[in-house]
Structure 1
Amino acid sequence: MHHLTENHDVVVCGGGLAGLSAAVAAARHGSRTCLVQDRPVLGGNSSSEIRVVPRGAAIYHAYARETGVVSELLAAERAANHEEIFENGWTNGVWDLVQYDLVMNTPGLTLHLNTSVTGVDVAGGRITSVTARTAHAETELTLTGDVFVDCTGDGVVADLAGCEWRMGTEGADEFDEPHAPPAANDNVMGSSIHFKTRDVGYPVAFEPPSWAVEYDDASFFYRGGRRPSTLRGGFWWIEIGVPWHTIRDNERIRHELTRHALGVWDWIKNKDPKLRERAATYALDWIGQLPGKRESRRIMGQHLMTEHDLRRAEPFEDEIAYGGWNIDLHTPGGLLAPTSEPTAAEGHDPSASAAVAAYVGPFGIPLRSLTAKDVDNLLMAGRNVSATHVALGSVRVQNTTALMGQAAGTAAAVAVRRGLTAARVPAEAVDEVQQTLLRDGCFLPNVLNTDADDLARRARAVQASSEAVLHGAGPHDPWRAEGWDRRRKFGPDDPADELTARRGQWIGAEVADGRFTLREIEVCLSNDGDEEREVAVSLLPVDHIWDYRVDREPLATTTLRVPPGRHHWLPWRPELGGAAAAEALPGTGHRYLRLDLAATPGVRWHTASRVEPGHVSAFQMASGQLRRFRDGVTAAFRVSPPQRCYGPGNVLSGETRPHRSVNLWRSDPAVPLPQWVAAEWDEPVALRTVQLTFAGHLIRDYEVYGPFYRDPQCARDYTVEVTEAAPGEPAEWRPVVTVTGNHQPRRRHELPEPVRARRVRVVVQATNGDPSAALYELRCYG
């Protein structure tokens, strides 16, 4: 056995999306970092070995896509990959290579693949080193470090270090969690493997091996929440857990999953009354042999997240990430249980009891839940964080774990740089962690950019060549893909637009001198009956785009009378000039209002044929709160006068997505490109770094984007220019950055040397398809 010793600042164990994000973040901030992965590829459950689609908050909440390292990866994968995404089973080697390429291009990051952690040395309450073995290379590694990050999923490092951990399900008597059973038990969510098929174009037979499980009961699938929705494979419900131990019995679970997966394909191919004829030309193309785990050990940290934290109104002071997946607790036993996961068993009906009870977010995640309580220099990220079984049901999904990973890696780098133990960072340096995460492209719902080093925040003014205004959108507007692929194009008479429940539409409203400028709102309604119907309407102040409350005091109300017939544009002139408007937003600016229409069966509030950026709609669930309508659409509305919510000042709002307001500079789509936005200072500044956040990759879940996708909203060709001339003086603009062929929303440009600038402007010559240039944030550093 060959023995090597390596000395690092930060050692990250586990190369899934959490570990990869942690390692890249730590290395980018100057820490000598080592990433140890026990498989030949990176990505964990998302890799080509397991093939789980990375998901997160955007499946339930518009404009909630996770950003930061994971966004870089997913945008790069879509731009390079020919493969169409479908739920699980889709992943190919392009995704593996995108992740590997990022690691190879990260200075200061050392990677060890096919290397398993076998030992941990602890002295004085601190980990001093981990021992790892690369079996096929007959090499044993001793890796020393100042901070260690456990992203192994099973909590291997924490366990070997003697940390307290939990495994199983807490009872309701411990934390009074609504989803917890009356008494604690050993149940954990199960593991899955996936398979993939291929349509070969001619009939092919499939004969299962004798040891495969035999399925004969259609009700097991169609009444038990195990609907084979596609012939391509990737069924998450091919799941096995208890009675086997998810760690010790992993090989037995793998074998059992293989038996069941082949039996499921035999059912679809040879027996399923709904699918077998369609499946005649499909052949089994790939089957996984590495179980994708959902749950095992959970390491106890400085804070244990519970179900109550997923619904808390008061933000965590140490918020470093966010989640928004539902409380997704799979039925113990998986395929051995009578029915599948509860919301699937109810047909994924968003108004059904299980879906309503499980709906949460977006919610903040505290750094203390990533900080081990028993070892001073151990952080963790992924499904082994400090959370109850119920809370883990939401935070375990991969895009959320990637955010936690980036936060853990950033906290580790801050600890190294400031000479702190990791245990002290939540109390003594969380502001630095938060501002660093924002600077690196992450989003925190309750934290704004207050970076004292950001020169753009000192700018005296921001101007633009043009700006779009909000007119609204209708069902007969020319359809335009403004930065996302539509799963389908809704027609102007879609029956799903019926007001079977209360609906809300966010509107970016302008305020001038403490008063709203909005004078008239129109909505497009159809009445499918023979008599006039009345629709109750209210206009409410909302704190942000995910403010789903319906019990707020409205600013104005009215009743619209809808005559029989189709596509009536009905106007309303709300009175908004009183004290309520002034209190809503003193001074001048813009903020969100929400236009709500009450449930009125037989009346349809039509969906617009395009999405107006930053303007989405929601419907009321049985719980009394709203949830995103469809997959993020705009309800048909018009406003007068047009609202100036896309102004250039938005690039300094401190937020990089629609949240408290639209937060987007958008050029007038009627004015041809190039278009520009510029910031100016009272005195020249020494400029060394320019950071840009363009529009794109935010509104919807990752899986809706097609092969070779480049977001149309994102700037393709652009320049960054500077001048020392003061406003009003003749300006000789000098380009310092020139980019062509871009598809990444976030770009950070380090200039070869500092340049003096009185003004800086970003000129967009071309987008990837959208007629408007669009920018969420401009940052400048010396």
Structure 2
Amino acid sequence: MASIFCLGLGHQANAATSKSQEQSIQAEIVVYGGASGGVSAAVQAARMGRQVVLVSEYDHLGGMTSSGLGWSDIGNESILGGVCREFYHQVYLHYQQDEAWNIQPRARFANRGQGVPALNDRTELASVFEPKVAEAVFDKLVADAGVRLVFGRLDLRRGVDKRGARITALHLEDGRTVRGRVYIDASYEGDLLEAAGVSFATGREPNSAYGETSNGITGLEYGNQLVEGVDPYLAPGDPTSGLLPGVNPSRGGPIGSGDHRIQAYCYRMVLTDAPGNRAPIAKPAGYDAADYELLFRCIEAGQTSRFFKNDWMPNRKTDSNNASGISTDYIGANYGDDWNWATLNYAQREELASRHRDWQLGMLWTLQHHPRVPSSVRERCSKWGLAKDEFVDNQNWPYVIYIREARRMVSDFVMTERHCCGLEPVAHSIGMGAYTLDSHNVQRYVHDGMVKNEGDIQKRIQRPYSIPYQAIIPREPECDNLLVPWALSASHIAFGSIRMEPVFMVLGQSAATAAAIAVSDNIAVQQVPYQRLRERLERDGQFLSLPVNVAADNSDATGAKPPRGAVRKATERL
């Protein structure tokens, strides 16, 4: 089993060889983006016999799934099919082996996931896992499928070459050119779709745009709110002293109106309290206690817990996420009046990601050491450190920041909350979603003399919903050989459910299946016959619809075994 962790180094070496020997790379299908959905797309294209290249902007495959998001946001395991289900099954098989439990005996693992057991013996799926295990599974999927892997980033200035509505080449920032017949934008930012001249949106549409109720400015009615009584001014009680950093003077418009704001980002920290695997939290360079004045005031107003969430993964590690009104989300830091994460160049994104990292590390250090934090809180927080055996070449910090939302394509069809909530049916399903309509807070502002958060939505849906093929294809006059499985055509709040990593993997595979048909028939992606697409997706184990008695909550999931072809045989262990 030790060999599971040796594949990534080979990919790095192959990438270096590719960079030194080739300036032009050719394939039938070009997948841009090394996150989970890009991996599933590339694997599917290769298994269909197409010549495919996976261009990964990351040095490690998997995106958020291998960067700390170890508590998968699924909603219902019954939607998991194809390569996606195979991934979770292979992770399950890993944890059936005694050697997988090197820090914690399996019997001591609580085995809790979101509504189902983390390691589900009924479905043979693992929805909770360590990042390094996820990365190793992705590496093996790519290697076994014979996917050609290239490491590089899109040149944001040169972008792509087009002939009419057709992309003919994309340019990498190191000077290489990648040519293909069909392209898949599997990036979190939607960089390729923007370079191709495809319409997109950022921020929040007004509710009136698509007849929604949960899309625009929300007001104070939702969760993850600050405690009562937190003063917003630099000098408490003195409006003339100015506002605390990151606090706006007002919410910016009436409830339901749209704006430019984007839900908050964070890193999904992997913490541990296992002494032999715990690296202490160091004070970040440039630390300034004034940056945590809001934290101090929330504690003084009565908050004593939920500064970060700790969901247990195997081997005494956590997926640590935002947990309350003042927590790991760096609210308001990923956009400005005339910019957002997606408009930044790579150097600017890296600098902003570093600010997010230092914010979170500084918050942890503050909670563990600062004298303004009560000793009871300091003592409780001091047991946590970074896991030494994760992200070992990145100072044990996750590789990828959680880009919860950036660009969203605007096509002839736009997914809205009405589709996710079952109020409007969709045709031509290529996969399913089941998770809550989920947006983290987007801003802080002054309300009745106090600091309040705004933008959080956690709205449950009744049952899984279908996602149509039309949502991942651009308008044909804009681009006829591009598919977009993550930054797809959806409103802000509909995207809040669809964006989850399992759905990304499902849609990545479906996009690749359509791409393979488009290559085979020499047609535009908009002209792919849906019946052929559906037949192939079902043959490869995708779930496109569910029985009417299946609810959205995992606790009501059927637990059905996948159809033939959905997972590899159990004997094919890693």
* 1:430 alignment partner in structure 2: 530
1:378 paired to 2:477: no
| Counterpart for residue 111 of structure 1 | 149
| Alignment CA distance shift 1:91-1:333 (3 Å) | farther
Among 521, 541, 560, which residue is 1:418 paired with?
A: 521
Is 2:88 the counterpart of 1:79?
no
CA distance in structure 2 between the partners assigned to 1:335 and 1:40 by the alignment: 38
Matched-pair contact (CA < 8 Å) for 1:39–1:113: yes
1:191 equivalenced with 2:265 (yes/no)? yes
Question: Cα gap change, 1:333/1:342 in structure 2, threshold over 3 Å: closer, same or farther?
Answer: closer
Structure 1 residues 280, 391: closer, same or farther in 2, change over 3 A? Answer: closer
Q: Which amino acid aligns with 1:546?
A: V
Q: Distance in 2 between matches of 1:324 and 1:220?
A: 39
Which of these residues, 161, 177, 184, is aligned with residue 121 of structure 1?
161
Aligned 1:475-486 pairs, distance under 5 A: none
Name 2:296's counterpart in structure 1.
Answer: 216
1:9 aligned to 28, 32, 56, which one? Answer: 28
Matched residues in 1 for 2:561 and 2:397: separation?
44
Tell me which amino acid in the other structure corresponds to 1:105.
D
Say if 2:400 is the partner of 1:283. Answer: no
Letter in 2 for 1:74: Y
Letter of the 2:525 partner, please give it: A
Are 2:443 and 1:403 aligned?
no
Residue 33 of structure 1 is matched in structure 2 by 52
Query: Which residue in the other structure is 2:180 paired with?
Result: 145
Select the residue among 316, 321, 329 that pairs with 1:236.
321
> 1:242 deviation in Å?
4.5
The code of the aligned residue for 1:308 comes to R
What amino acid does structure 1 have at the position aligned with 2:296? D
| Cα distance in 2, alignment partners of residues 73 and 324 from structure 1 | 18
Query: CA–CA distance in 2 between the matches of 1:282 and 1:154?
Result: 32
Amino acid at match of 2:350: E
169-178 vs 267-276, which deviates more? 267-276
What are the Cα deviations for residues 184-223 of structure 1, in whole angstroms up to 9, with x where unaligned?
2101122211333333549998663451543424559986
The secondary structure found in structure 2 opposite 1:11 is strand
**Is the Cα–Cα contact under 8 Å of residues 376 and 423 in structure 1 kept in the other structure?**
yes
SS in 2 for 1:544: coil
Per the TM alignment, residue 8 of structure 1 is displaced from its structure 2 partner at its CA by 1.5
For residues 543-601 of structure 1, give each alpha carbon's deviation from its aligned partner in whole angstroms, at most 9, with x where no partner exists. 63326xxxxxxxxxxxxxxxxxxxxxxxxxxxxxxxxxxxxxxxxxxxxxxxxxxxxxx
1:56 is displaced (CA, Å) by: 4.0
**How far 1:230 sits from its partner (Å)?**
3.3
TM-score (norm. length: structure 1): 0.52
Q: Does 1:53 align with 2:70?
A: yes
Q: Is the 8 A contact 2:435 2:498 kept in 1?
A: yes
Residue type at the aligned position of 1:25: Q
Contact 2:70 2:131 in 1 (8 A): no
Contact 2:69 2:131 in 1 (8 A): no
Are the counterparts in 1 of residues 272 and 385 from structure 2 also a CA contact under 8 Å?
A: yes
In structure 1, C-alpha distance between the alignment counterparts of 2:275 and 2:179, rounded to whole Å: 55
Q: Do the aligned residues in 2 keep the contact of 1:170 with 1:388 (CA within 8 Å)?
A: yes
CA distance in 1, matches of 2:35, 2:537: 20
Once residues 221 and 419 of structure 1 are traced to their aligned partners in structure 2, the CA distance between those partners, rounded to angstroms, is: 64
- Partner of residue 155, structure 1: 190
Deviations 1:648-699 (A, max 9, x none): xxxxxxxxx94xxx9779xxxxxxxxxxxxxxxxxxxxxxxx94668xxxxx
CA distance in 2, matches of 1:143, 1:302: 28
Structure 1 residue 246 corresponds to structure 2 residue 341: yes
Two-structure CA RMSD over aligned residues (Å): 3.7
Superposed CA deviations along residues 250-295 of structure 1, whole A, max 9, x for unmatched, are 2343233123212321244343666533444443443336422111
Answer whether contact 1:220 1:226 (CA < 8 A) is retained.
Answer: no
Following superposition of structure 1 onto structure 2, how do residues 510-659 of structure 1 map, counting pairs within 5 Å?
544-546=548-550, 628=553, 632=555, 658=558
Distance 2:512 2:491 in 1: 23
Does the residue aligned with 1:111 lie in a helix, a strand or coil? strand
Structure 1 CA distance, aligned partners of 2:305 and 2:207?
26
Equivalent residue for 1:488?
A: none
1:750-765 to 2 correspondence within 5 Å? none
SS at the partner of 1:189? coil
Partner of 1:99: 138
Q: What amino acid does structure 2 have at the position aligned with 1:67?
A: G
Q: For the Cα contact (< 8 Å) 1:269–1:279, is it kept in 2?
A: yes
Cα distance in 2 between the residues matched to 1:320 and 1:184: 30
Q: 1:246 to 1:338 in 2, by over 3 A?
A: farther
Report if the CA contact (8 A) 1:199-1:283 is conserved.
yes
Aligned-residue offset at 1:339? 5.9
| Structure with the higher helix share, 1 or 2 | 2
Alpha carbons 1:415, 1:422 under 8 Å: kept: yes
Count of aligned pairs = 448
Equivalent residue for 1:259, pick from 336, 358, 373: 358
Contact 2:431 2:543 (8 Å CA) reproduced? yes
| Bigger CA radius of gyration | 1
Q: Confirm or deny: 8 A CA contact 1:77 1:94 kept in the other structure.
A: yes
CA displacement at 1:145 relative to structure 2: 1.5
More strand by percentage: 1
The CA distance in 2 between the partners of 1:261 and 1:40, in whole Å, is 23
2-structure distance, mates of 1:164, 1:223 = 44
Tell me: CA distance 1:197–1:98, structure 2 relative to 1, closer, same or farther (3 Å).
Answer: same
One-letter amino acid of the structure 2 residue matched with residue 125 of structure 1: A
- Report the residue type matching 1:106 in the other structure: A
SS in 2 for 1:276: helix
Q: Identity of aligned pairs, percent? A: 22
Find the aligned partners of 1:314 and 1:250 in 2 and give their Cα distance.
Answer: 38
Determine the C-alpha separation between the residues in 2 that align with 1:16 and 1:148.
Answer: 15
Work out the CA distance in 2 between the residues paired with 1:381 and 1:19.
Answer: 9
Shift of 1:329: 1.0
Q: Output the CA distance in 1 between the equivalents of 2:264 and 2:55.
A: 25
Shift of 1:6: 2.6
TM normalised by structure 2 equals: 0.69
Deviation of 1:387 (Å)? 0.7
Distance 1:266 1:113, change over 3 A: same
Q: Give 1:34 shift.
A: 1.0
* C-alpha spacing 1:294/1:334, structure 2 compared with 1 (3 Å): farther
Aligned residues of 1:322 and 1:400 also touching (Cα < 8 A):
yes
2:79–2:431 Cα contact (<8 Å) kept: no
Q: Which amino acid aligns with 1:228?
A: F
- Deviation of the 1:125 alpha carbon: 1.2
Shift of 1:64: 2.5
The 2-side partners of 1:194 and 1:24 are apart by: 26
Partner AA of 1:130 in structure 2: L
| Residue number in structure 1 paired with 2:434 | 324
Per-residue deviation, residues 312-367 of structure 1 (Å, max 9, x unmatched): 35642211111011110111048999566877xxxxxxxxxx65x44353100000
Partner SS for 1:239: coil
- CA pair 23-54 structure 1, distance change in 2 beyond 3 A: farther
Query: Following TM superposition, by how much is the alpha carbon of 1:176 offset from its aligned partner in structure 2, in angstroms?
Result: 2.1
Closer, same or farther in 2 for the Cα pair 1:66/1:218, shift >3 Å?
Answer: same
Residue by residue over 1:495-522, the C-alpha shift from the partner in whole angstroms, topping out at 9 and shown as x without a partner, is xxxxxxxxxxxxxxxxxxxxxxxxxxxx
